[in-house]
Amino acid sequence: MAWRRLPCYLPGMPDLPKSATLPGLDWPRLPASRPLVMGIVNVTADSFSGDGLAGKPDAAIAQARAMVAAGADMLDLGAESTRPGAEPVDSATEQARLLPVLQGLHDIGVPISVDTRYAATMRAVLAAGAHIINDISALEDDPDSLAAVAEAGCPVVLMHKQGQPATMQQDPRYGDVVAEVLGYLLRRVDICVAAGIRRDNIILDPGIGFGKTVAHNVALLRAIPRFTALGLPLLIGLSRKSLLGALAEAPDPAHRLGASLAGALFAASRGAQILRVHDVADTVQALKVWRALDFQALDFQAPGDMA
């Protein structure tokens, strides 16, 4: 089953096929009956969530392995913090942080995505064993990145952002945020296809928190079915973000687990196909219960459930 044919996961739908193949990869038996869980491994110096592991490759490798053991379907490694107000990191620094971790994960057994805006980093990490490029600029910030991905023939995540991380949250404005983000992503898809990137290798991300107010983010999440209707897989990254802090009145990102799980289940119920999360084990557990209640006729009866 190709990614572009995955249906939305809406309550009341019948059970879905048990496996799917990652676009551009011979990677069978990834579950299609629920969103895929992408575990975040921050090899950064200043992660907003406080889990940056720059200069600690052994700790990053251990974290990644623990996430896979907890049920992560894929991993996302990033070496440049893109939190609001963050300063850019150059490609050489990215590579110095990423390559030792990739080398230590050569046998991890799940697809590895790398979050980068630099073509040089893209080429280096793909040569080192990464499978997917995740670019917050939708391959726009580095003019050579389109060619890098096209040459590799790898899957790519195209994300929307308004402005640059250092200033993007100062005064974000839109006339119609959903229409503008949809239009931008569609234009980037056309540009990517014209550059030689296969359409069925493209994954979309509306960029929650990247140049958006709380109201903008809420509107985008409510509009998830409009994004999935484009026929491309949709990635949602909500985990621990300030949107959840505002909605849950939880200023500390470390205390947003409940909010993150609520956001993940909301996105799953609307049809998101990949959830990018920090708390893998808790998200996997929440999805198991959500799926059981929405999709499965349970074949067991727990003590105390007798009516």
Active centre residues (catalytic): 241, 276
Residues 6+ apart with CB under 8 A from 103: 128, 129
Phi first, then psi: give them for residue 157, nearest 5 degrees: -95, 125
What residue spans of 3-137 are helical by DSSP H? 57-69, 91-104, 119-127
Q: Could you give the dihedral angle defined by the CA atoms of residues 164, 157, 125 and 200, in that order, rounded to the nearest 10 degrees? A: -150
Give the Cα separation of 1 and 4 in Å (integer).
8
Give the Cα separation of 236 and 231 in Å (integer).
15
Read off the tokens for 260. Answer: 């993150």
CA distances from 213 to 204, 240, 251, 267, 294 (A): 20, 16, 16, 18, 31
Measured N-to-C along each axis, helices 145-152 and 119-127 cross at an angle, to the nearest 10 degrees, of 20
